[in-house]
Structure 1
Amino acid sequence: MSPRDTALAAITEYFDSGSFQSELAELVARPTESQDPRGAPHLMAYLTEAMAPMLEAMGFSCQIFDNPQAGAGPLLVGQRIEDESLPTVLTYGHGDVIRAQEGQWREGLEPFTLTEEGDRLYGRGSADNKVQHLINLRAMAALIETQGKLGFNAKVLIEMGEENGSPGLKTFCEEHEELLAADVLIASDGPRLSPDAPTIFTGSRGGALFDLKVELREGANHSGNFGGLLADPAIILAHALACITDRRGQINVPEWRPDSLTPRIREVLAALPEVKSGIALDPDWGEESLTMSERVFGWNSFAVLAMISGVPEAPVNAIAGWARATCQLRFVVGTDVDDILPALRRHLDTHGFQQVQISSADRGSFPATRLDPDHPWVRFAATSLQKSTGQSPHILPNLGGSLPNDCFAEVLDLPTIWVPHSYAGCSQHAPNEHVLKPLSKQALIGMTGLFCDLAEHGAPKD
């Protein structure tokens, strides 16, 4: 057999023997909740007891760093430098998970116990993101095991705070630019477009999180005595929100309507299959002139994440003194990040809502990034994945969600190739999170083949 075939056979045996499932179970068992103080000791243990030993057994040297932002999770950098003349791949993953949501999982499932049911493996982090970096590391291990080398240089960055908005990650990349220097980022996060075929995305939509608040007076006042005499902040806020979009969610703020949905991007998106998520979608929601793929991958969207006025769990007959909504703009390249909130201020003022205060949140915001879908690294990865899996990968100009890709694309100045190993119906960030076994096996084969092709052919030429 060729070296490539030998490595693919080894990774297939790794999955079929149950080793993959066993290792994933060990990772899922670690309650690495970065949003809960009880998870703090497990964040460091994930790196020292799970990641570092795995990487060191693969011939990587490892360093663990405190986060440059006080109180945020630690980071690990692993390196295997075989020859300075070879191309260097940086890969990334995050070992932290969102809150476990104990008691909300269905009967028979526990968040930190990997449970097999048919083709599904349930557990917190099974999809986001433990399975994803496990697949990529074990794909590299298959080359080392069968060929005695990678055939390229590799660096691994594992952070423990992505679910908190990756605090400190950008600063860390700035401070350790030389340590993290590479030719390309090949990493995995987020969902595939379809569970049965690989996906490549080259960036992500940005996310701007902010609060809108109407604060008219201290305390609440009796609705019988003052109804019709005192302005209701909740009503004012509701009307302010209603002027941001029309009734089907089409954005009315002119500066929030991007100019980057070019004919080439529309052509790339037109080649994608119908958007399927495992839940019923609303075809009459969003920008009417766009296809569903264009709405989520090529356009901006506004959402109200939460609203409050008064005491919802115990309402009383009183007009509240204030109302607040937490909102989010998901935005693509072509949106002026610095003008997002100023543009909203101008828009609200124009419509008579000077009373509405705007405050930017200190978390949950990422810039938008996008690599040209015709870039040589994209073509190289697509060709390799098709060869290994027999499936033509879906190519997205960017993920619909947000992730810290700017740290790699802008700070480290790398072409960014993301090959996700989950799917939209995985219940990510919800109870009953799971990963699909057939998808995982295909992903292991695809990534092993991709690394084999990089070892054999080197970096693609511009």
Structure 2
Amino acid sequence: MSMLGWTTYATIYAIFQRYGSEAKHMSTFSQSLHRYFEAHEDEHLKELIEFLRIPSISTLEEHHKDINAACSWLINKLTIAGLENVQAIETDGYPFVYADWLHAPGKPTVLIYGHYDVQPVDPIELWESPPFSPVVQDDKIYARGATDDKGQVFLHIKAIEALLALTGELPINIKCCIEGEEEVGSFGLTKWLENNQELLAADFIVISDTPLMQQGIPAICYAVRGLCALQIDVQGPQMDLHSGGYGGAVSNPIHALAKIIQSFHDESGKIAIDGFYDDVLHIDVEERNQFSTVAPPDEYLMNQLGVPHLYGEPGYTAIERTWIRPAIDTNGIYGGFSGEGTKTIIPSSAHAKVSIRLVPDQKPKQVFEQLEAHIQLHAMPGVIVTTTRVDEGLPYVASLDHVAVQAAHYAYQEAYQVEPVYIRMGGSIPIVSTFSEQLNAPIILMGFGLPDEQAHAPNEHFHLDNFRKGLLTLALFFTQLAQ
């Protein structure tokens, strides 16, 4: 039995029918919201472009001032929107921005979480336009952070602003936590939370950092994978050596590193680390069968990615491999000479960055230990191999029978005019498990990006159709919660 306690689509839709009596009223209100957002679209896009111009890359120290600039920008916009107690809260890492509006007695309190930091832009030469000079083209906005996660954070700010402008109040109590180091593991916020849960206490938490199923089909995400990430450093000779004078006589660190990486999988694509699958949670057949009703077939993914074959653990479809099975990937390799032309050397060192996506009930600490033991077991003689743990996060699975899920279902259906589907996500949001443990509140993952919007890659973008529908969805969601 999966830890989800799977609720069937039929049950979800039956619950949704209870809200039919409010539908006519909400439909009228949604029209008012639509007119408001349509009238303010140019203004909203200008503001989003301002936000996207800030190169708030959390992983690079030289962008520290840009992190502060993004933080200040958010404080200003949240204040203008009508939220109160807006401030930057310092942590051991980068600050997060807090804001609230708590004037709805007897109504639920929702904590909105997002992040204002972004990924590095490498390789810069693959961008068709500068990553921090946003371009609107073909009804999409191109920039680093457009979909992950500045564009989606911005939707919440403007949905709140619209409700306050149209009604003079919010239908529920709202708190905001927008952090500046999600892309590097949320370590500062995680540590801060250990002794400061009261400020962020809420009845439930909503996060918009997940994708739709595909264009026109909204999705409520109920599970994300966990994460382990580490760096492998292989040290050989004290300096680069001439390959003519030393080739065949000493171990080559790049060869040693390649051997380690190759050992992660067997020939079938299954992970070959001893004990790795021991704690992987079994998923119900019923839930697996539901995946085929919402996910595209493997052939669609092959065509979309331009690859002749897919690869991975035997016995599972591509969507199952990314939703319910763990994975290990080498994210980057460097060492030796990679410039133009030839330089015949044996490099003194080689390095790799590796990440593992975890599923319930895998624990980062145990997986780190398994991986580190495996790496040392496959180290070649003549080199020294060291590892450094750099990031971790637990997987998370939510229940679908919470009233907030029902409200999200209604809001998506009203804005998109189709029933939303229920999905897992292969990516990781490390703070999700932290919030679940520290705040003990249900988490609703309501995203508006698309799987092919190239988050973390060159030419990241956000479809403006989902920008428009996202504003409407969130405003309706907040209003429906008050019913």
TM-score bucket of the superposed structures, by smaller chain = 0.7 to 0.9
Among 9, 23, 26, the residue aligned to 1:4: 26
C-alpha separation between the residues in 2 aligned to 1:385 and 1:391?
A: 8
Secondary structure of the 2:166 match is helix
Amino acid in the other structure paired with 1:25: I
Q: Identity of aligned pairs, percent?
A: 24
Q: Which moved more, 1:16-25 or 1:420-429?
A: 16-25
C-alpha separation between the residues in 1 aligned to 2:36 and 2:267?
A: 52
TM-superposed CA distance for 1:315, in Å, is 5.5
Deviation string, structure 1 residues 271-330 (Cα, Å, up to 9, x no partner): 322166642356430112001111011111111122234333375434334433221111
Partner of 1:16: 38
Any conservation in 2 of the 1:67–1:74 contact (CA below 8 Å)?
Answer: yes
Among 33, 38, 62, the residue aligned to 2:57: 33
Superposed, which structure 2 residues align to 1:8-87 within 5 Å? 8-17=30-39, 18=41, 19-37=43-61, 39-48=63-72, 50-69=73-92, 72-87=93-108
C-alpha separation between the residues in 1 aligned to 2:88 and 2:288?
A: 42
Q: 1:58 to 1:212 in 2, by over 3 A?
A: closer
C-alpha separation between the residues in 1 aligned to 2:90 and 2:155?
A: 25
C-alpha separation between the residues in 1 aligned to 2:50 and 2:375?
A: 51
Any conservation in 1 of the 2:210–2:425 contact (CA below 8 Å)?
Answer: no
Partner of 2:314: 288
2:213 equivalent to 1:187: no
Partner of 1:323: 350
TM-superposed CA distance for 1:398, in Å, is 3.9
Any conservation in 2 of the 1:198–1:443 contact (CA below 8 Å)?
Answer: no
Among 357, 360, 367, the residue aligned to 2:388: 360
Q: 1:78 to 1:419 in 2, by over 3 A?
A: same
TM-superposed CA distance for 1:124, in Å, is 2.7
Structure with higher helix content? 2
Secondary structure of the 2:148 match is coil
Secondary structure of the 2:435 match is helix
Any conservation in 1 of the 2:331–2:353 contact (CA below 8 Å)?
Answer: yes
TM-superposed CA distance for 1:351, in Å, is 5.8
Partner of 2:114: 93
Structure 2 alignment gaps of length 5 or more: 1-22
Amino acid in the other structure paired with 1:195: Q
Secondary structure of the 2:471 match is helix
Partner of 2:470: 443
Superposed, which structure 2 residues align to 1:22-421 within 5 Å? 22-37=46-61, 39-48=63-72, 50-69=73-92, 72-99=93-120, 104=125, 109-247=129-267, 249-257=269-277, 259-263=280-284, 264-274=286-296, 278-281=304-307, 283-313=309-339, 316-348=343-375, 357-362=385-390, 364-421=391-448
TM-superposed CA distance for 1:245, in Å, is 0.3
Secondary structure of the 1:361 match is strand
Q: Which moved more, 1:58-67 or 1:337-346?
A: 58-67
C-alpha separation between the residues in 1 aligned to 2:317 and 2:156?
A: 33
C-alpha separation between the residues in 2 aligned to 1:299 and 1:214?
A: 29
Amino acid in the other structure paired with 2:293: A
Amino acid in the other structure paired with 1:104: E
Structure 1 alignment gaps of length 5 or more: 457-462
C-alpha separation between the residues in 2 aligned to 1:230 and 1:47?
A: 51
Secondary structure of the 1:197 match is coil
Secondary structure of the 2:187 match is coil
Aligned residues: 451
C-alpha separation between the residues in 2 aligned to 1:246 and 1:187?
A: 37
Secondary structure of the 2:370 match is helix
Any conservation in 1 of the 2:211–2:451 contact (CA below 8 Å)?
Answer: yes
TM-superposed CA distance for 1:358, in Å, is 4.4
Q: 1:374 to 1:280 in 2, by over 3 A?
A: farther
Any conservation in 2 of the 1:220–1:320 contact (CA below 8 Å)?
Answer: yes
Any conservation in 2 of the 1:384–1:449 contact (CA below 8 Å)?
Answer: yes
Q: 1:38 to 1:308 in 2, by over 3 A?
A: closer
C-alpha separation between the residues in 1 aligned to 2:385 and 2:394?
A: 23
Any conservation in 1 of the 2:54–2:70 contact (CA below 8 Å)?
Answer: yes
Any conservation in 1 of the 2:404–2:481 contact (CA below 8 Å)?
Answer: no
Any conservation in 2 of the 1:3–1:147 contact (CA below 8 Å)?
Answer: no
Amino acid in the other structure paired with 1:323: A
